Structures are given as C-alpha cells and as structure tokens.
Chain A
C-alpha cells in the first residue's frame, strides 16, 4: 500500500533559522503530494501541494519541490518564525479521490526566541 515517511518527532529551532522537514513516499500510482499544518486545537490546513515533477511550489514563506526520481517532497523555509510552531503533515493522494489522503506520522515544530 501507499506510505509516507516524515522527519520523526519533534524539531526544535531558534527563530530566524532555516527549517527543513523531510518527506518521502511510496506508491505505485500517480500522486499529488501535500503539506498540511495543524496549530494547537485547530483544523489541519493546506500549506502546499504539487503533482509536477521538479517544480517548486511556494506559499506563506514555505516551499517544496516534488522530485519523483527520489520520491521526495521536502518542506523548507529560510527563516522560522514563532508562529510556525505547529504540527506538520506530509500527505499523498494517489489519483483516486475516494481513497482520501495517506498521511505521514507528523512532525512537531517548536520555534523558540
């Protein structure tokens, strides 16, 4: 079956430093890749999505590039802000809306002053 593997556990960093969260996936199908962010006690919200190989996608200061050759969709930001503290999920949809999304385990990011 499909699977998504993310940077595990907790990532702590200082405000102003770069952020990189790894995401790799396995599927036998065509894919859309997503990054969702969930702040405490809130709904997960879409941050980025892509299905185009080697094309950078950007939103709210974050960016990611889907590399199908390495099955990766890493999330990056050049300068972390306190408000980036949240739970980040990488997810894939394999070309059938009815299957829903397959999520990674989630990565918690804590940004300190």
Chain B
C-alpha cells in the first residue's frame, strides 16, 4: 500500500517531557512536511524538508525539530513539551514540482497534561 504512515496515533505526556513522532511515506515523493492542527482545526505548516534542505516556519518554537534519515522518513521531536503543544500533528509528502498535491497521514494526537 502506498500512503503516508504516522506513529503513534495518540500520545499523552506531562509538561517538560520529550516526545518523538514518526512519519514514513511510500509514495516515492521527495518532499515531506509537518503541519500542526490545533483544537480549532487551524492547520499550519511547521516544516518542509527536501534533499536535506529544511525550511522552518518562523513561528515554530525551537523545542521542535524535524529529523530525517532518508527522503521517505521525517520524524518530529519536541524537546520539552508545553501545554500549548497539545494538537494533532499531521505529516504530508509531495513531489517537488510546483502545484503537486500533498498527501497527508492520519495524524498523531498529542495531549500534554
């Protein structure tokens, strides 16, 4: 099956802990992204990653960092979670071509207590 896969589906943690989420795509795409979907369903780009070039949304706090081993994988690490990090984190991938649609994974729901 070709798709975007994310693990875990859910994660509950305490303030100050470190968490890491995984994303893998089997679509043969060369660009991957992380988006944050907050409690009001607002979707915002956090990172895009292509050929070792990382583009960071300037509003993303430094405690967030993407980690990639190859073009099919882009993980997300949060160094010390805050309550406002509670959200659904969506991974996506696309070809590099302009206008090519992005394919999304099902998301990881993070709850910070």
Contacts and interface: CB of A to CB of B under 8 A. Distances in A.
Which of A96, A97, A99 has most chain B Cβ within 10 Å? A97
Interface size range of chain B in the complex: 20 to 34
Nearest to A48: B101
A93 B99 contact: yes
A43 B41 contact: no
Contacts of B45: 99-102
Contact of B53 (A46, A87, A95, A98): A98
B106 A42 contact: yes
A32 interface: yes
B101 A98 contact: no
Contacts of A108: 41
Interface in B80-113: 90, 92, 94, 96-107
Contacts of A43: 4, 90, 104-107
Contact of B50 (A32, A46, A98, A105): A98
B43 A97 contact: no
A32 B101 CA distance: 9
A36 to B, nearest CB: 8
B21 interface: no
Contact of A97 (B50, B106, B107): B50
Interface in B14-72: 31, 33, 35, 40-45, 48, 50, 53, 55, 57
A13 to B, nearest CB: 19
A103 B104 CA distance: 14
A93 B23 CA distance: 22
Contact of A34 (B50, B101, B107): B101
Interface of A: 32, 34, 36, 41-46, 49, 51, 87, 89, 91, 93, 95-103, 105-106, 108
Given A41-B106, A91-B43, A103-B44, 7 more contacts: A42-B106, A43-B106, A46-B101, A93-B99, A99-B55, A100-B102, A101-B43
28 contacts: A34-B101, A36-B104, A41-B106, A42-B106, A43-B90, A43-B107, A44-B104, A45-B104, A46-B101, A49-B99, A49-B101, A89-B43, A95-B99, A97-B31, A97-B94, A97-B96, A97-B98, A98-B31, A98-B53, A98-B55, A100-B33, A100-B35, A101-B102, A103-B43, A105-B42, A106-B41, A106-B43, A108-B41
